[in-house]
Homo-oligomer: A and B are copies of this chain.
Amino acid sequence: MFSNTKKYDAPIKEMMLLARNIPGVISLGQGMPNTELPIYILEEIQEIVKKGGFNKYSDLVGTSELRQAVAEHLMDKYKKCSIDFEKQILITCGAMEATMSALLSILNFGDEVILFSPYYPPHVQQVLLAGGKPIFVNLDESKNWRIDCALLDGVVSNKTKAIIICNPSNPTGSLFGKEDIENIIKIAKERDLFIINDETYNFLVYDEEKFCSPLHFPEKIQDHLISCFSFSKEFAMTGMRVGYMLAPEKIFEKAARIHDALTICAPTLSQKIALLMLQNKDKWNEGYLDKFKKKRELMLSKLDKQSFLYSMPHGAYYFFVKYGKNISSKKIAVKLLNEAKVITIPGEGFGEQWDRYLRLSFAGEEREISQGIDRINEWMLK
């Protein structure tokens, strides 16, 4: 179904590719934690390797140990959830394969899927690849990126099958509030829609009281809720490719068969490492989460208020900034790359109307954030 997807960009991938052969570039582009795994973890992984056995397929749905551990992890976070890991948890090759499997599980050709714009670009690609039609509901920065319930209700048709939410949001770093989530649940129930809930960044919320998830109200929506999670960002293991899906039993069964036809199983060694990270999560979290808070403050303090408008992100590790220059975001991102030697992601990749925005990641090193923003500020004032 690729032919339909050309008008939608893969802006993150494209900027990273453009930057590959430019020396001295600083990346505020791809959202990848720069953290190395600590020595105590590397030593444990060496012990796992020494024992062998990780070279074979795991159970296709994931190892029992990891499935049980993530179910407990989720029930610890969302106290009202009751999860039967055998019937509801699918381990995938990252959250990306989880959302793809979810869409392939529920869509027939031509079904519509609602996404909020600014959107996470691969979600649009995935809807198209699964034979669906993406329908966009615009969010408004001046209203803190909150949902306009009338707008949402207005686009639901008898072809609508699902609403995708990415909360905390990539690219804006904003959070949906309790009212937003309740409205989405209400509309999903009334119109018999699935909610595909991408919670890749649910661990990284700077103002916890503002965060709300459909998983806070399982009794209201659990039959129509497919939630997708990642180890990549929470445990700085983007390269290990492990994520998971929590779904109602019927969807789990379909998704498991689809997963089998996409990748067979998640990497066995990566699953063992994911389990290790969960077992060490308190120790790991100590230093890890504070770093992002500091980096957010750093980027905030450096961003020139004369060149940019932006709101403070309450989650994830992105600023989505509006600039005043009369140049499209693609052009400015390429200029910033070639002239200021900084990778940024053009806003129009997250929805065509965001063509005066840039996404800036603060997942990297403090030195990079500091120098990267200095370079951008300087270039903007020229």
Contacts and interface: CB of A to CB of B under 8 A. Distances in A.
Interface of A: 1-3, 5, 10, 13, 16, 20, 30, 32, 36-37, 42, 45-46, 49-50, 52-60, 93-94, 96-97, 100, 104-109, 122, 125-126, 129-131, 236-241, 254, 257-258, 260-270
Given A42-B50, A129-B258, A257-B125, A55 B239 contact: yes
Nearest to A125: B261
Contact of A36 (B50, B55, B107): B55
Contact of A1 (B94, B97, B109): B109
A58 B237 CA distance: 11
Given A30-B57, A36-B55, 17 more contacts: A2-B257, A2-B258, A16-B60, A20-B59, A37-B52, A37-B55, A46-B46, A46-B49, A55-B237, A55-B238, A93-B93, A94-B264, A97-B262, A125-B258, A131-B131, A241-B266, A267-B269
17 contacts: A1-B109, A1-B130, A2-B104, A3-B108, A5-B257, A36-B52, A37-B52, A37-B55, A42-B50, A42-B52, A46-B46, A56-B239, A97-B263, A104-B129, A125-B261, A129-B258, A241-B263
Nearest to A257: B10
Which of A50, A56, A109 has most B Cβ within 10 Å? Answer: A56
Given A1-B104, A57-B32, A261-B122, A93 B241 contact: yes
A36 B53 contact: yes
Given A46-B49, A46-B50, A49-B46, A267 B267 contact: yes
B100 A261 contact: yes
A1 B263 contact: no
The 8 closest A-B pairs by CB, nearest first: A239-B268, A125-B261, A93-B263, A57-B238, A56-B239, A241-B267, A267-B267, A122-B261
B254 A2 contact: yes
Nearest to A241: B267
A272 B10 CA distance: 26
B265 A241 contact: yes
A257 B109 contact: no
Contacts of A100: 261-262
A240 B53 CA distance: 11
A69 to B, nearest CB: 18
Contacts of A3: 108
Contacts of A96: 261-264
Contacts of A265: 239, 241
Contacts of A263: 93-94, 96-97, 241, 262-263
Contact of A268 (B46, B240, B260, B266): B240
A20 B59 CA distance: 10
